[in-house]
Chain A
């Protein structure tokens, strides 16, 4: 695969262009070689400047900041190196271990699990529907997907809002809660429950559409053979579907994990999420509030570095998975 997918286009030209004399051919070949060598880098340079300047360099800066005591001065800022103090404070404090990390990790795990399961179920459903209903359902999951995180969050807040929110009123009318006194957003568990519904609603369409694309590649004969052998639907799913599109499942799971560990907007916009309720901090929100609400850029940076390291580990797993699934041309 390697040779057919990746080769440098212009190499074929010398053989089809008649050369006038040997010296010219030599010069032409040398020029060709130079072009072949520099062209990929010419094409890459603009992107590399942007990526290095705005993503990689700031990442190095945030590492530097996390080791500094950064003071905002008139017309700029000044950092003095203080070593690993921010990390020491962070890692020895209760807030990280009892609030921030559990919120981040359990929330991400719940979101990933529900997103992948629901996405897969919806993909299986779409695969069984006739063309009309398949179109209707596809458009409806596109609507969920297209809803921006910001507006989606406002709608879920509104649905669960105390007193007059639709879901609060329904829960009140069946006697589950008293809408006048219940505020879903003050306690950790209901707060993150609502955030989970929000993130899953926004995230499962990607899984559904990707898994559906995978399902379409499985030969129908496999299922017919399975049915003849007497396998029921459950067995056919685990013995045929799952092994056939295992790479698809791995990629959507890892991508969802990366995304759900860095959920920010959905938590930040919820009542109490922007700092007034420390019980609902996750790593991203904690970092942001330390930096921008408390002007403690160093602690904020240290928390950001922790989150980045966490995501780096997940990304390495992601990259290895891509390699292992026969990423022929990486």
Chain B
């Protein structure tokens, strides 16, 4: 580390920058939670410091808003997405990172291209398709869409992890007489574990946060996912901000806790996927 001269600018500038960053990033989060807990927020706005702490908005969204059911729906769809996306993307990542075959580059380019497809382009034909198959309003139908949405990024990220496992480790397993499948279970899988964790988190968050498909496909009010369920508390002119912020808090906090717990792996997952390509 080089010795830096401490100038006046850096002595004042750094703390100011840190404070500005903390306010910009955390104030919306604070505002959401504080409104959710503020007893006044059902009738009128909230103040910088809440006038008290109450859980009535949370009770309201569970009792009157059926939000427990929506959270459960989101969890079911999320877990189905993780399980399928992790397995499928790992197989595909091994194929493109470890084998030479014809059309390998074409497959990779297709993965990149489908990653950019806007959801609004897919939602129209998929809605028509799902309606014709009578798969609207079905958690299974929604999960299948989310698996597809999370696959390209998952394959792209995991490919970096598989490629980073040294060839020699695999070769050593073969020399010891292991079959390919044995090598896969005992050598490759443990080594790409962190990548698999990162990919699963992204798949889960894709499903948990997604709005467009859930809003379009799920019209029965007991089939909403949590991200769509907030919508019912939100009116264009008369919004009760307490329940909206309480349900927003319920959707946001699990994701935030997840992020903070796994942020190191998240970083390396992105680095492997986005930076190294």
User: A residues bordering B, Cβ < 8 Å?
Assistant: 4-10, 12-13, 16, 36-37, 39-41, 43-44, 46-48, 50-51, 53-59, 61-62, 65, 70, 76-77, 121-122, 125, 128-129, 133, 136-152, 154-156, 158-159, 161, 163-166, 169, 201, 205-206, 209-210, 213-214, 220, 223-224, 227, 247-248, 251-252, 255, 258, 261-262, 264-265, 268-269, 271-272, 276, 284-285, 287-288, 291-292, 297, 300-301, 304-305, 307-308, 311-312, 314-315, 318-319, 322, 325, 327, 329-330
Contacts and interface: CB of A to CB of B under 8 A. Distances in A.
26 contacts: A6-B97, A9-B99, A10-B180, A12-B175, A16-B175, A50-B147, A54-B144, A54-B145, A59-B121, A61-B125, A62-B124, A125-B21, A141-B21, A141-B25, A147-B29, A150-B209, A150-B230, A151-B252, A201-B25, A213-B275, A251-B274, A287-B124, A304-B121, A305-B121, A318-B112, A330-B108
B228 to A, nearest CB: 8
Contact of B100 (A8, A55, A143): A8
Contacts of B149: 55
A17 to B, nearest CB: 8
Tell me the interface secondary structure of chain B in the complex: helix
B126 A58 contact: yes
Given A150-B209, A213-B271, 10 more contacts: A16-B175, A36-B99, A44-B107, A54-B144, A56-B110, A164-B45, A261-B118, A262-B120, A291-B127, A327-B277
B117 interface: yes
Contacts of A146: 252, 255-256, 258-260
A156 to B, nearest CB: 7
A140 B26 contact: yes
B277 A325 contact: yes
Taking residues whose C-beta sits less than 8 angstroms from the other chain, chain B's interface range is 35 or more
B112 A143 contact: no
Contacts of B28: 144, 147, 152, 155-156, 159, 201
Nearest to B209: A148
A171 B162 CA distance: 53
Contact of A51 (B111, B145, B175, B212): B111
Interface of B: 1-2, 10, 14, 17-18, 21-22, 24-26, 28-29, 31-32, 35, 44-46, 48, 87-89, 91-92, 94-101, 104-105, 107-129, 131-132, 144-145, 147-149, 151-152, 155, 163, 167, 170-171, 174-175, 180, 183, 205, 208-209, 211-212, 216, 227, 230-231, 234, 236, 239, 241, 244-245, 248-249, 251-252, 255-256, 258-260, 263, 267, 270-271, 274-275, 277
Nearest to A77: B128
Given A166-B48, A248-B275, A291 B124 contact: yes
B91 A47 contact: yes
Contact of B113 (A128, A159, A161, A315): A315
Contacts of A148: 205, 208-209, 227, 251-252, 255
Nearest to A248: B275
Contacts of A142: 256, 259-260, 263
Count chain A CB atoms within 10 A of each CB in B18, B44, B216, B231 and give the residue with the most.
B18
Contacts, number: 329
Contacts of A312: 113, 116
A149 B183 CA distance: 41
Given A12-B174, A158-B31, A46 B91 contact: yes
Given A50-B148, A51-B148, A13 B174 contact: yes
B18 A125 contact: yes
Contacts of B44: 164
A9 B275 contact: no
Given A143-B25, A262-B120, A58 B129 contact: yes
B95 A161 contact: no
Nearest to A163: B45
B266 to A, nearest CB: 8
A255 B116 CA distance: 9
Count chain B CB atoms within 10 A of each CB in A143, A165, A272, A319 and give the residue with the most.
A143
Count chain A CB atoms within 10 A of each CB in B17, B122, B244 and give the residue with the most.
B122
